[in-house]
Structure 1
Amino acid sequence: MAALTHVPVTLSPDQSPTKTAMRDIIAAFFPKEWPFVDPETLTLSYSTTFANPHCKVERAVPITGTAIEPLKLLIKFHNDSMADMEVFKHLVPTKQEEALISLEFGRSGLGAKVYGFFKTEDGTLGRIDEFIDGRGLKPEDVEDSGIQADIARGLARFHTLDFDLDGKEVTGRGFSEALVQGLRRYQGMKKLEEFGRHAGVDIDRLIDYDFATAVEEVVEKLESLNAKKAWCIHDVQYGNIIVRNHPQPGKSKTVLVDFEFAMRNFRAFDIGGHFMQKIFDWYGQDSKIVNCREYLEEERRYFCDEYAREWNIRTGDSDTGDEVFVEAEYGVLLAVAFDVHNMLCAMEEEGGDDPLSLLGLNELYGAFVKQFNKLDGARRSLSGASR
């Protein structure tokens, strides 16, 4: 388990950090230079945009010009980001377990290094991570075969790590059962339909659609394929894939971050989710739907070939890219259904009626129905041909 360090710092009630507090937290892990930094010389950038508020902290280059401790770090303050998603609470890692996952993956060079896990006097939990000099992945990035391959290898490396998380579901079945339970709760909910009407976006078809039964069929198909299971990230939206500004020769250009939703599941979930997320930007100010082309089949197959190669290196298996591709086609449906559930959950809890989000929700519905019908039609054709 990741060691928890108590730091003699008290944060304000809203956790808004001060320069002195940030200096003192960092100094608890870097005792040679950071304790002597004048807090007023620090540069802070604080954001609450994502699930976990975070603060970028940078100090000046020492007068000697040679630093023995990092100049720039990322501090994450942990919130209970699953508080409104009760059905998954027994599956997701605790914050200390998330720190362990991040620590282990960071050692691979494909994730950010973790320097420390702390608790302040007021009870705030947080983590000090390596600051990655880069930017969020953009849809056009994944049209580059080199970046496609880096992401594929990163996912395979994550999936083949063995995280010993006491008491967590280890079969992968728990995720699908929880998802089905959650989706059934929202099907036909008039309260959600009213939110849509108030926003001027008709989501009635989505609310009435039987996602739960469809997901059960998808899971049954994946089981029949003997689809592989692993610890999956479950949050592969493009903001959680960092493209390095100055990658070292021969090293991965991409870094995977944020593992608060890590659970056991079919590996196909993350792969299919990565393909699906290309056309969505949930933090977009003008639209949640990206004006770009979808992942081409030839790109998806190439991605799956690279993934299978890395998976086999790590496990000794002999999976083919074609096998991974078929799994990922069903994984798309699990990933879309998960996003639909999470958005409906947030709508009910927060009274969400943002038209842009609801339009994005309808786009998810359309993507699910289109993919489900395509795969169901292929299954029926094969079944008929075999008789």
Structure 2
Amino acid sequence: MATCTSVPVTIPKDGPLTNVMIKDIVSTFFANEWPKVDSETLVITHQTGYANTNCVVERPKPKGETHSEPLKVFLKINGVLDGEIEVFEHLVPNKHEEAQLCYDYGLSGLGAKLYGFFQTQDGAFGRIDEYLDARNLEPEDVEDENIRADVAKAHAVFHAMVSQRKKKPIQLYYDAVTGGLAKYHKMDKLKRLANEGGVSLDDLVDYDFVSRIQRVTDRLESIGAKNGWCIHDVQFMNVMVKNNPKQGESKVVLIDFEFVFQNYRAFDIGGHFMQKMFKWFDKDSQIANCRPYTDEEKRHFCEEYARQWNEATGESDTGEQVFMESELGFLLAITFDIHNMLCFMDQGDDNDPLSLLGLNKLFKEFASQYEKLGLESLGHCT
């Protein structure tokens, strides 16, 4: 179990953590070798993280000595997320629950080990995790069938994972997201901001996502779609590819569990297929310069997923069943991103042209998939 440990550190208000502070945090969990390290010899590499302090901390290798404690760890101190998470705050895990999810996933052998969960003297929460010698998944990576299979298996294990966290009804999410999208429907402010940014969002803002989401979830229920612990934020930056995996070891690791709650497993699977088309933090374009997932690749992913899901649950799902669910989940994942981006526009008066073009790409993919699945013929939507 992930128990919370108090550490003798207060987060500076006017600068980063010092080497001494970082050493004190790590030494709380590794009490034999780390306390003897000269803090000035630590190599600390800060990484970009949305609202969080993330860094890799490395100590010198002892000369002529073996070591029982890790030489390198990943340190994360949670900041305050704002904006789009507010509408989901009754669903997302608190920091202790998130740490427990990390711990549980680490026990599967597929996730990074959780070494420690802590709270600073001023109330901030953080974690010490296993350092992963890995890089972010790139869109082209999933064209490799071995990497694609490992991503599928990782999601199946996570979705089926046994956790102490209480399961909440998935309808709570759909009530929240449709309530948000109803708020933004036909909002003049969003149209104005987009036009000021040089991109029209009129068609997207006027589109009735709410009734269409209901049709998607009705269809999922009609085919017996399964639920699981979904990550929701399945952008490719939240999948790590190991640089030097051991023989027989998975090449990938899933990270970032700040949005984990119960949902249709199709949400993450379809979302993974959708995210291949985007690179949200690229400075030149948020739309990836590569081809989308092919149907053949999707079906291979779903076969691998079903095999791992059945192994974890004792069920007998087929790849075709998972594929049918994922085609609908693709639509749900798009509306999650659209909702969050419209929320950010509304709250932050954002009209970055790259984001606007990304939004229109999402809208185009939604409309195309919705028509392909024949959902439009079920009735009239505006």
CA distance in 2, matches of 1:200, 1:112: 43
Q: C-alpha offsets along residues 313-372 of structure 1, whole Å, 9 cap, x if unaligned?
A: 111111000000000000000000000001111111111111111111110011111111
Paired residue for 1:59?
Answer: 59
Query: For 1:149, what is the secondary structure of its paired residue?
Result: helix
Q: In structure 2, do the counterparts of structure 1 residues 251 and 14 end up closer, same or farther at CA, with 3 Å as the change threshold?
A: farther
Query: For 1:279, what is the secondary structure of its paired residue?
Result: coil
Structure 1 residue ranges without an equivalent (≥5): 381-387
Paired residue for 2:242?
Answer: 244
| Conserved? CA contact 2:191–2:202, under 8 Å | yes
Paired residue for 1:305?
Answer: 303
CA distance in 1, matches of 2:328, 2:15: 41
Cα-Cα RMSD: 1.5
Q: In structure 2, do the counterparts of structure 1 residues 271 and 379 end up closer, same or farther at CA, with 3 Å as the change threshold?
A: farther
CA distance in 1, matches of 2:261, 2:202: 31
Paired residue for 1:124?
Answer: 124
Deviation at 1:163, TM superposition (A): 1.9
Paired residue for 2:279?
Answer: 281
Letter in 2 for 1:245: N
Paired residue for 1:266?
Answer: 264
Structure 2 residue ranges without an equivalent (≥5): none
CA distance in 2, matches of 1:62, 1:194: 61
| Conserved? CA contact 2:74–2:128, under 8 Å | yes
Instruction: Determine whether 1:39 maps to 2:33.
Output: no
CA distance in 2, matches of 1:357, 1:339: 11
Paired residue for 1:384?
Answer: none
| Conserved? CA contact 2:83–2:347, under 8 Å | no
Q: C-alpha offsets along residues 109-157 of structure 1, whole Å, 9 cap, x if unaligned?
A: 2111101111111211101111100100011110011111101110000
Letter in 1 for 2:284: D
Paired residue for 2:349?
Answer: 351
Identity fraction in percent? 51
CA distance in 2, matches of 1:9, 1:233: 31
CA distance in 2, matches of 1:331, 1:176: 13
TM-score, normalization: structure 2? 0.96
| Conserved? CA contact 1:82–1:89, under 8 Å | no
Paired residue for 2:316?
Answer: 318
CA distance in 1, matches of 2:52, 2:221: 34
| Conserved? CA contact 2:136–2:241, under 8 Å | yes
TM-score, normalization: structure 1? 0.95
| Conserved? CA contact 2:134–2:241, under 8 Å | yes
CA distance in 2, matches of 1:50, 1:254: 22
Q: In structure 2, do the counterparts of structure 1 residues 340 and 84 end up closer, same or farther at CA, with 3 Å as the change threshold?
A: closer
Paired residue for 1:137?
Answer: 137
CA distance in 2, matches of 1:15, 1:266: 42
| Conserved? CA contact 2:370–2:376, under 8 Å | no
Deviation at 1:81, TM superposition (A): 2.2
| Conserved? CA contact 2:9–2:24, under 8 Å | yes
Query: For 2:373, what is the secondary structure of its paired residue?
Result: helix
Paired residue for 1:192?
Answer: 190
